[in-house]
Amino acid sequence: MSNQQVALVTGAASGIGLAAAEALAASGRLVALADVNRETGEAAAKRLGGFFIQADLSTRAGCKALADSVLAKFGHCDILVNNAGIQHVAPIEEFPEDKWDFIISLMLTAPFLLTKYFWPGMKERSWGRIININSVHGLRASEFKAAYVSAKHGLTGLTKTAALEGGPQGITVNSICPAYVRTPLVDGQIDAQAKTHGIPREEVISNIMLKKAVVKRMIEPSEVGDLVIYLCSDSAVCITGTMLTIDCGWTAN
């Protein structure tokens, strides 16, 4: 077993998760990358010198299997980045019930379960960093995103509760709440919003995604990765239970 810090990033094959994994690997941590996409996940892990685990985090069995794999491989997990997520855009009356169940399971239940599974080890070592990749939608709502907004608001509550319990144990728990980040997930949202609103992609970006932003640009995944590294540093030891926004001024409104 290595004495290096071990970090687990979920949804690590692309987008914010990949950026977080890249940043953690560059900072000298051993990184476990979890994703449903084996091909891209394995390629990323090989490039970063990390360890890939294919995982379906929409099920409790999948979450437990992932935790067991990390502990079997490394013996401990010091940093947990809960990032895995999807989006589905539809009016409430048309929102598929199975999509609701899937999104809540993946984006709220899975972070809770992984936090639960790694908590005893962090507590035993009196050190842990749990970073929930939340969203500006964990603080604000938008129409046609009932499941996503509900899951992210729930993640806000989980972050605060875990922070209160973790503080005396040396475990900090925070949420990063970005606005629209330039990722494959957001690219898919552009098409979905265009269809829902009946407007071109360009208007989705300018009139919907960047409408409430003061800084009129998309956020780069690496900017979120940089904040992950800061929250794992000694300088951030007193930061816990917070929702740190990278939102181009959205929530200043």
Please indicate, yes or no, if residue 184 is contained in any of the structural domains: no
Q: Report if residue 77 sits inside a domain.
A: yes
Question: Would 64 be classed as within a structural domain?
Answer: yes
Asked whether the whole model's pTM tops 0.85, one would answer: yes
203-247 tens-digit pLDDT: 888 888 899 899 999 999 999 999 999 999 999 999 999 999 999
Please check whether residue 102 lies inside any domain of the structure.
yes
Domain total for the chain?
Answer: 1
pLDDT, one tens digit per residue, over 11-46 is: 999 999 999 999 999 999 999 999 999 999 999 999
CATH number of domain containing 57 = 3.40.50.720
Q: Contact 172/166 with Cβ under 8 angstroms?
A: yes
Find the Cα–Cα–Cα–Cα dihedral 85, 89, 94, 97, rounded to 10°.
0
Does residue 225 fall inside a structural domain? Answer: yes
Backbone angles phi, psi at 129, to 5 degrees: -130, 120
**Residue 125 covered by a domain:** yes
Give the start-end residues of each E strand in 76-210.
79-82, 128-133, 171-178
Domain that holds residue 109: 6-179+220-246
**Domain-located, residue 201:** no
202 domain-assigned: no
Among 58, 53, 25, CA closest to 41: 53
Q: Which positions are catalytic?
A: 148
- Residue 120: pLDDT band (50, 70, 90) is very high
Strand pairing class (128-133; 51-54) = unpaired
